[in-house]
């Protein structure tokens, strides 16, 4: 009977922990991203000093998003969604730490290292995506640049006519 209570307690605690995470993270990727966006927007509107103890509440919520929610949904995110998530994360750090943002990001604690690594990865993927886009569309880009050059020449000629009148 006593071991049943212990087992029941463990199952109940696991359920509560999971349900709390689902409540903050959301049941799916889109809910998670929407909740994170709203959280960052709410933090962005705060007007608190960096040393204000009220930040603790937001720091804890932020930590869950970074350490639990992101890991849970990471495989479901597109490159664009990952990039957006980590740029929002930088926004949190800028709002939270102000001028001390870079000092916080350079700390060698788990969360700062995770943020730094994921931002580097997102930027690397962005660079590869841009390179692929340019390579795939090079002919169109060259035509566009040529058209812009022709338009500039026309504008310059018209401007010259106007100035001579």
Give per-residue pLDDT as tens, 86-104: 999 999 999 999 988 888 8
Number of domains in the chain: 1
Which comes out higher in pLDDT, residue 28 or 149? 28
Distance of CA 133 to the CA centre of its chain: 22
Expressed as residue numbers, the domain containing 117 is 2-164
Q: What pTM value is reported for the model?
A: 0.65
How far apart (Å, rounded) are the C-alpha atoms in residues 51 and 142? 53
Lowest mean pLDDT among 34-38, 44-48, 103-107: 103-107
């Amino acid at each position: 009977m006593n071991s049943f209570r212990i087992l029941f307690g463990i199952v109940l605690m696991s359920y509560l922990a999971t349900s709390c995470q689902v409540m903050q993270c959301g049941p799916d990727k889109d809910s998670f991203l929407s909740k994170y966006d709203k959280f960052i927007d709410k933090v962005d509107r705060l007007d608190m000093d960096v040393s204000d103890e009220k930040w603790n509440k937001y720091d804890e919520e932020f930590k869950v998003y970074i350490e639990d929610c992101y890991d849970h949904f990471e495989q479901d995110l597109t490159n664009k969604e990952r990039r957006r998530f980590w740029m929002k994360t930088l926004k949190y750090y800028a709002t939270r730490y102000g001028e001390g943002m870079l000092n916080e990001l350079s700390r060698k604690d788990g969360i700062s290292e995770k943020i730094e690594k994921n931002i580097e990865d997102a930027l690397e993927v962005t660079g590869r995506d841009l390179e692929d886009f340019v390579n795939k569309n090079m002919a169109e880009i060259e035509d566009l640049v040529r058209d812009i050059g022709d338009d500039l020449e026309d504008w310059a000629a018209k401007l010259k006519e106007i100035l001579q009148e």
